[in-house]
Structure 1
Amino acid sequence: MARHSGASVLGRRLRVGRCGPGTSLRTVPRRVTTITNDWPAGSARALSAGTKRDDVLDEVEGPDGTFQQHLGPFHHYLRTVATDPDGTVHETVQYGLYLPWFGIIFRWPMRRALRHPRTPGSPSPWWAPPDKLTARQTSALALLAAAAMSAAFANTLFTQTSTFAADGFHASDRMLGASGAIVRVGVVIALPFAYLADRMGRRRTIVLLAWLTPLFCALGALSPSFWVLTGSQTIARPLGLALSMLATVAAAEDMPRNSRAYALSLLAMASGMGAGVAVAALKLADFGDNGWRLVYLISLIWLPIAVSLGRHLDETRRFETVHRMSPPLNRRRLGMVALVALTSNLFIAPASYFQNNYLDKVRGYSAGGIALFTLAVGTPASLGLIIGGRMSDVIGRRKIIAICTPLSAACLVAAFFAAGSAMWFIALGGGFTAAMAYPAFAVYRSEMFPTGNRGMANGLINTTALLAGSLGILLVGVLRDHGSSYGSVMAFLGLGQLAAAWVAFRHYPETAHLELEQLNPEDPTIVSAD
């Protein structure tokens, strides 16, 4: 069965009728910024001002001698160049960039890039994608990153607060481990939303989840017992996982071929910001036995993002294009990606879940100390996401996986043996290299499957990953109750990371520089409307 939404079929090639790559159906705020430059006569900048630039955008010269955007992220762009009789060159750049929620972060680097153009033919700045994004793609990526923040807060909330809630309810380590496993088993709740996204669209499902996730998280503040808290977050966390998963699917579908890993790295950085809010809020847990409840109430701050998504997020072009509904699922690809998710999460999930318990019970850190450690180690390490995402798009995913995954596993295991400042530096190294590998791993989950079942395939893979994480958490909880040290248990589970890297390097295809339709020939090729 095929889906049609404003597209006309030309053989195997399709023309999108509703919106081209640089347009949007939704109202976009029109804020315009002006930059003026004066260049002395004969200077290098004066001589190059009259040439078209090709760094953060591609320019085209208009009939009146002005330069306009041919391809780039701006909803408005105009550059004029005037020369005085003495040879002084006056350049004026007017541009409008719509980046909801993240405009303040990119405002200065974009302004600097426009004021100081790069040499023609040079690669884009390190913070920018390898490809030039359109205004539609830029705003969509920012909105999806905002959704990722909300999702990450939900995904981090129980992990960060469970130790303090367990103390308040006098729960044992075994109960703590069991609750972590139960919450992760709840990932099956995400599967119906993955199915809905393949049927009724990415946008509508993402908006629905953006409302449901913070509301269910906030219910945890009212829990009368540890098991009721576990039950509420068994629903809330899978909603956040589904939101995060579909945000990555939508980003992969809308990004150009050389920037998919970069886009996922930005979503992961935004996720780090959302998780950072949960970590920073841990200080509230020091306010008595019930201080942790305040952290759950903070979930409501993410509701404005749901409003923003509902107003401004467009459906992905690939979903809007005619495509086959429910194509056969490639079982070999699904099994291969699921195996990597399984082996890696046997280590990653318990290492993350028990980190706070380790710092609390073994190293004697307070809630504030744990928050400081997590932010101090995690924030610098997040730069690895941008570096790893860009390198994955430039030199390939498999090389990044093969180099970074063993290094990250070794460092993260060593952090459970070390103490003092050594623990901080080793954990930082492990987090940085793990962050570099993440975009390369994550992008395969969307690239390896066609539009008609991309959401469901991601749901099944994420379910596998979460169930494996639950198994790892249960195992650590049982072994800890029998006297095993955190270090020895994590060293054993860390072998799963090495297995994941080997499978990915040996058996994954290299997908960098290829369109999704080249990787999935059953999908039609998209031709943008002019």
Structure 2
Amino acid sequence: MTSRYRHRRGHRSGRYRPVAGTARSCVDQDQRSSRPPWWRPGWLTAPVLSVSVLSIASGIAQFGVTTVIRDVAVVFGEVAGDGALDQLGLPATTLGIALALIRLSSLGSLPTAAMADRVGRRRVLLAAIAVGLTLTALSALAWGFWVFVVLVAMARPLLSAVNAIAGVIAAEETDSSGRAWALALIAAAYGFGAGIVAVGRGLLPGETSFRPVMAFSLVPLLLLPVLARRIREPAIAAGRVAATGLPGRVPRELIGRVLLLATLVGAIALATGPGFTYLFVYGEGVLGASPLLLSTLVLGAGPAGLFGILVGRFAADRFGRTVTAGVTMAATGLSVSFAYAGTTRELAIGYLLAITASSAFAPPTGALVAELVPTSVRATVAGWETVAGVVGAVIGLASFGVLADLTGGFAAAARWIGIGTAIIAIGFRFLPETRGRELDDPEGP
């Protein structure tokens, strides 16, 4: 009797440890203790919040390059005249090549994301964000234009992989009812990071310089040890059968659906790539819109994007992933076509509609990437989708200019690309619907 009393007292005081046969009860107790309180949504857990902060950091580092590239050109070049292009500091061709190289370097995100299927999501995520932020911060010390380009180009594939892996972890940490919410949070977090660096640069006193903007990446880097303690390997991934073969390899039976999904993700980038990039070139150079109006549109893109993400989340859970993705992709293409129809009013309306629709596209497609493939290749497939988006944007940028030259204007070019994107969106009809599907099978979607 005394022995039993001591046993029970030890159990209550926390000193009792079950033997191997009761390990399952210990795991169940662990899972119960990790559940969020009743007042907090089930998807809003510490791991999801932590990877969303890493997505903010990725947005700060990647969008920082966009905001300061002219500043870099002015520092290392020479303002030679009074013309608009003369104010760039370096030839426009040089800037174009540099931006293309930085964008194309994101193709390297595929092998990085694929490693997450081999050595673990958490390990690869933390390594990628640490090295990516370090390289970005080092670019603040660049002593030449091409040194800057090389450093940020080396950081870009790692930071792009962070976006992909963060989405995978968010998907695997949630059930079907909260998955679209978690993925919407990841997408919004990246946009928030981009907004931080854009606003922060505008608030800098005196002459704008690229150095403090790029050095700001040190702030999330210093927070990384704190965040790392809150990020865990998702349970479904911890029990996975590791992928084999070359990084990026997809099982033969999945190639069809992965290729179709990658094609669709790349196709929307055909429209968003030129549609968003040519905003200032077309608005100021062709329509004569004021810089203040275009800056107001960029500021308005933040609320429009957030509204789109919320709409995409709601529709993905209510109407289905494939339907929502197809409709929002078609709406994106048509909005880009409308934006370049020929007036400032149409540009403003079309641009904000395109931002809203393309943002609504993110939650359903993020859920499809997670739910269509098994755990062993989920991060690899997310990497392929990132690559498809990069390729689609590059092709869209190149073809937009060619079509504009061939047709004599931006309106016809936007119409061809926008309507083509809307037609390609029909391809979502050929993907299986995954709404309500749980990721509880370690080796099956």
Query: TM-score, normalised to structure 2's length?
Result: 0.79
1:220 aligns with 2:130: no
Deviations 1:316-368 (A, max 9, x none): 111112435438351112211111122222222232333344456554655x7
The answer to whether the 8 A contact 1:181-1:469 is kept is: no
1:317 aligns with 2:235: yes
Structure 2: any 5+ residue segments left out of the alignment?
1-19, 78-88, 245-249
1:195 aligns with 2:110: no
The answer to whether the 8 A contact 1:415-1:427 is kept is: yes
Match of 1:300 among 215, 218, 223: 218
Match of 1:160 among 67, 70, 76: 67
Amino acid at match of 1:21: Q
Amino acid at match of 2:437: L
Q: Which residue matches 1:415?
A: 339
Q: Which residue matches 1:151?
A: 58
> Alpha-carbon deviation of 1:512?
0.4
1:492 aligns with 2:391: no
Identity of aligned residues (%): 24
CA–CA separation in structure 2 for the residues paired with 1:164 and 1:358: 22
Deviations 1:237-286 (A, max 9, x none): 22211101000011111110222222111111111111111321342689
> Alpha-carbon deviation of 1:515?
1.5
Amino acid at match of 1:145: S
How do 1:53-452 residues align onto structure 2 when only pairs under 5 Å count? 73-74=36-37, 132-133=42-43, 138-166=45-73, 169=77, 170-283=89-202, 288=207, 291-323=209-241, 325-326=243-244, 328-329=251-252, 330-359=254-283, 361-362=285-286, 363=288, 366=291, 371-417=295-341, 419-420=343-344, 423-452=347-376
CA–CA separation in structure 2 for the residues paired with 1:354 and 1:15: 58
CA–CA separation in structure 2 for the residues paired with 1:513 and 1:321: 22
Pair 1:18–1:155, CA change in 2 (3 A): farther
Give the number of the structure whose residues are more often strand, by fraction: 1
> Alpha-carbon deviation of 1:431?
1.6
Q: Secondary structure at the match of 1:382?
A: helix
Structure 1: any 5+ residue segments left out of the alignment?
1-7, 25-71, 78-94, 96-109, 111-127, 525-530
CA–CA separation in structure 1 for the residues paired with 2:155 and 2:424: 28
> Alpha-carbon deviation of 1:201?
0.9
Deviations 1:434-481 (A, max 9, x none): 222221122222222211111122212322321232232344466778
CA–CA separation in structure 2 for the residues paired with 1:405 and 1:456: 23
Q: Which residue matches 1:515?
A: 438
Q: Which residue matches 1:58?
A: none
Pair 1:230–1:380, CA change in 2 (3 A): same
Pair 1:181–1:445, CA change in 2 (3 A): farther
Pair 1:500–1:302, CA change in 2 (3 A): farther
Q: Secondary structure at the match of 1:258?
A: helix
Match of 1:461 among 385, 388, 411: 385
Amino acid at match of 1:73: P
The answer to whether the 8 A contact 2:140-2:214 is kept is: yes
CA–CA separation in structure 1 for the residues paired with 2:69 and 2:407: 21
- Deviant stretches of 4+, over 6 Å: 478-483
The answer to whether the 8 A contact 1:210-1:305 is kept is: no
CA–CA separation in structure 2 for the residues paired with 1:23 and 1:395: 33
Deviations 1:471-516 (A, max 9, x none): 3234446677899644443333324532441111x21110000113
CA–CA separation in structure 2 for the residues paired with 1:463 and 1:331: 15
Give the number of the structure whose residues are more often helix, by fraction: 2
> Alpha-carbon deviation of 1:161?
3.3
Amino acid at match of 2:115: L
Q: Which residue matches 1:40?
A: none
Query: TM-score, normalised to structure 1's length?
Result: 0.68
Pair 1:358–1:392, CA change in 2 (3 A): same
Give the superposed CA RMSD.
Answer: 3.3
Amino acid at match of 1:469: A
> Alpha-carbon deviation of 1:23?
4.0
Match of 1:21 among 19, 31, 35: 31
Pair 1:336–1:517, CA change in 2 (3 A): farther
